[in-house]
A = this chain, B = another copy of it.
């Protein structure tokens, strides 16, 4: 059961139109929590909004790119009049993957701006108001990719490591004020984004989670911070945190090269 006193009456979901984000919206609306859904593309956003409105809650939609100059002002003007008890930051993506030294620094900066800067701004804004009220929750969606360096996604992986340790600090600092902070670590999940990225979900031994299951699991464990590894990947996260780093990092990279037929 979702604690509507702790996390209501409104939740903001950045990246709330499809996949795990749509799963959060469905679960929260069934619990009676009103929603502000933020995503770039209007069509899937309106589709998800219509579906969750059918659960009887108020739903506001905000079609915007979090990296646009007026994004924060628009979010404020759409949320300043309501009490946001839950922020879910589910908008991170690897918008630019490339070998680092030959890559485009501007492309890498876009990954940082979304996964780090935008996440900090929203956590700061809504977190400060939750602290005043003495209740609320912040869920930052992370990735198993954040536990290890890897080829052609150096900045994405590093930004996800940033998010994990940032979530741990938020959890420590906000717990005395009655606020739950959690990083929800995702493994391979059957989301539209991962389908578009061309992931082969049928590879033998691959642990694939369904977005609705992951969303439900994350919301059920909001109070169990600072980090919740979803979809049965707890042991994988432990392994990826281990030592020695050289054999672990090289071993994972070799496995990835084989999967991609580049081994």
Contacts and interface: CB of A to CB of B under 8 A. Distances in A.
B99 A173 contact: yes
Interface in A182-232: 224-227
A169 interface: yes
Nearest to A250: B172
B158 A172 contact: no
Interface residues of A, number: 62
| Chain A interface, >50% SS class | helix
A166 B100 CA distance: 9
A161 B165 contact: yes
Nearest to A157: B165
Interface in A74-127: 99-103, 105, 108-109, 112, 116-117, 120-121, 123-124, 127
Interface string A52-69: 000000000000000000
B154 A158 contact: no
A33 interface: no
18 contacts: A100-B169, A100-B170, A101-B123, A101-B127, A101-B174, A112-B116, A146-B165, A148-B165, A149-B165, A149-B166, A150-B169, A154-B169, A157-B166, A158-B165, A172-B250, A224-B246, A225-B246, A241-B242
